Amino acid sequence: MRIPVFYSPKMVANFENFSPSAGKPIKVVKSWQKMNAPIDIVEPKPVDFDQICTAHQSDYVKKILFCDIDNGFGNKLPEVAASLPYTIGSMLSAAREALKNKKVAVAPCSGFHHAGYANPQGFCTFNGLIVTAQVLKMEGLINKIGIVDFDQHYGNGTSEIMKELNLSSWVKHFSSGASFYSQNQAEDFLVKIPKIMKMMEGSDVILYQAGADPHIDDPLGGWLTTEQLAERDLLVFSIASRMGIPIAWNLAGGYQLDEYGEIRPVLDIHDNTMRACVKIYA
């Protein structure tokens, strides 16, 4: 199997900011191509206004798309607003494809899990995880969905929206950032991944946030080694495969820079996630 990756240049918005998320998709895809990963690039279908509103207050969505309020990246840039339907569309398209091929698909995007019902937070504007869940449910493609969030930080926005919209009966959500944050928890975390994945049993598809920011050298992370992150990803993919649950994964956070000011250390981690994906599915 070749791994479908839902990428478009329209997902990319380049600007000066601490977070590289808005400009990361193109760099990650080029890195995967350079390592000759068996991937096929597929154009994602952007989400529309009504689909975004399945997870967010409509007035908030309007203000973001018309650049009337801060988008969570410390600006109101039109290019950021224009990229958002495509980053969410990448997640939704990947989930649809994973359901179709019954294995895996990739959304090389970030910036979802802190976004609340009517507010941006922490470099997250709209919650593409909940939009994806809601749209799939409304289209009759799923009955239940799992969200495995292994970003460094707690997915507070996801939890907030689930509570606001009363989604907990069919959306299973685990965010490691709520409980794991220290190096002395690393081995315990890896041991508990099978139990965490077991929580997703019965899901029609799993949305997996394969964050690079838990790395010990990340300025906003600090508790997993490169090898432990690779083991994390291999466990997630192998267990999902054994459970027979398709998985759609994204990049989530990552903020390391090398000596040249580039995000090469982050790209190396995302490369390892792709290697684990290829090992299990390709």
**Per residue in 42-64, pLDDT tens?**
999 999 999 999 999 999 999 99
Query: What is the number of other CB atoms lying within 10 angstroms of the CB of residue 43?
Result: 14
Between the CA of residue 239 and those of 45, 64, 197, 206, what are the distances in Å?
29, 38, 7, 11
Domains of the chain: 3-281 (3.40.800.20)
Amino acid at 153: H
Q: How far apart are CA 109 and CA 276, in angstroms?
A: 18
Amino acid at 270: H
Cβ atoms of residues 161 and 155 within 8 Å: no
Cβ atoms of residues 223 and 256 within 8 Å: no
Query: What is the number of other CB atoms lying within 10 angstroms of the CB of residue 119?
Result: 17
**Per residue in 189-247, pLDDT tens?**
999 999 999 999 999 999 999 999 999 999 998 899 999 999 999 999 999 999 999 99
On whether the pTM is more than 0.85, the answer is: yes
